[in-house]
Amino acid sequence: MQGKIKFKRFMNQAKGKNLSFLLLCHHNADPDALGSAIAFSRYLESLGLKYRIGVAQSVSSYAKRLLQFAEVEKDPEVKEDVVVIFDTSSPEQLEPVEIPKDRVIIVIDHHIEKKKPIKAKVRVVDSSRTSTAEIVWELLKYLNFYDLTSAKAILAGIVTDTANFRFANSKTFKTVSEILSIFNIQMGEIFNLVAPVSDENIDQAKRMAILKACQRMEVKKVKRYVIAISKVSAYESLACKTFLQLGADVAIVGSDKEGVRISARAREYLVKRGLHLGKLMEKVGPIIDGSGGGHSGAAGANGKRNFDKAIKFLVREIEKFLKSLG
């Protein structure tokens, strides 16, 4: 894993200099980002170093149960010496948090590195990993730090970022096996830990968003494949998942309310054939004056303008891919 030695050397220096840390997660922080930050915070606590955990804008419903393990601040003002950024490949995903130029930045991530990545003193990035939490586990293991709460937070990140192990690989299962061989953790507890937290009003808003997405849905048939496209004001990723459940092979759902947000999902057999939505979303980023990225089968983009142009680009590229299949 690149950067591991450099990371350990820096942490040894940080302890001697008594540096303070801000552990920062992206918009709508998911269990992978937040779980990674929580796990690492336990290591900092063991060293007696000061830290805060911060998220840009909000915490996702799937990550809210992790808040029992740590205090988390929304849109924190950066006062610390070191900013550790988890599961984030572009600075736009951290808005409105502003990081002063004189801060030391460390990036820990599992996404494919972009042409213009976040500038950092230390980068620990491994795109062969299915979650950032796995990388954090490797780092903590390398630092000889083992902690039950950290292990639970890491497992939560792995479970959600692999979609309950559907996108897991051999490295994923090796990590899970190592954790379970050390700690007496029941996986049922982890699945309960990442169950979404919501209230009746939010549930109603989700239902309305899905129904509106279905009402506005446009269907394109390419050979034997179906692309579902729609527009909502919120819950784009949930609408995408629903479209796949209804029979679509690829789903694209966006919103141009208060900026541009686009989410896309694809079935596993198309991912295996070479479709990579994350790479397509990276190309969408400049179109919408923002950033994009993600996994092969699930990706998103956030920006400021050109919603229709971005949707047309995505549909055109996906159609081109589907037509190329035998």
Domains and CATH numbers, the chain: 4-193 (3.90.1640.10), 200-324 (3.10.310.40)
Give the pLDDT confidence score for residue 2 in this predicted structure: 63
Give the pLDDT confidence score for residue 91 in this predicted structure: 85
Give the pLDDT confidence score for residue 115 in this predicted structure: 66
Say if CB 92 and CB 275 are below 8 A apart: no
Q: How confident is the model at residue 250 (pLDDT cuts 50, 70, 90)?
A: very high
pLDDT tens digits, 215-237 = 999 999 999 999 999 999 888 98
- The amino acid sitting at 197 is V
Mean pLDDT over each residue of the chain, to the nearest integer: 93
**CA–CA gap between residue 37 and residue 86 (Å, rounded):** 7
Instruction: Extract the tokens encoding 171.
Output: 């490295």
Q: Is 14 left (phi over 0), alpha (psi -120 to 50) or beta?
A: alpha
Give the pLDDT confidence score for residue 90 in this predicted structure: 82
Q: How confident is the model at residue 12 (pLDDT cuts 50, 70, 90)?
A: very high
Q: Return the bridge partners of 29, or none.
A: 59
Give the pLDDT confidence score for residue 63 in this predicted structure: 94
Give the pLDDT confidence score for residue 32 in this predicted structure: 97
Which residues lie below 8 Å from residue 115, measured CB to CB, with a gap of 6+? none
**What are the angstrom distances between the C-alpha of 151 and each of 23, 69, 146?**
17, 12, 8
pLDDT tens digits, 104-152 = 999 999 987 766 778 899 999 999 999 999 999 999 999 999 999 999 9
pTM of the model: 0.78
**CA–CA gap between residue 223 and residue 314 (Å, rounded):** 17
Instruction: Extract the tokens encoding 14.
Output: 């940080």
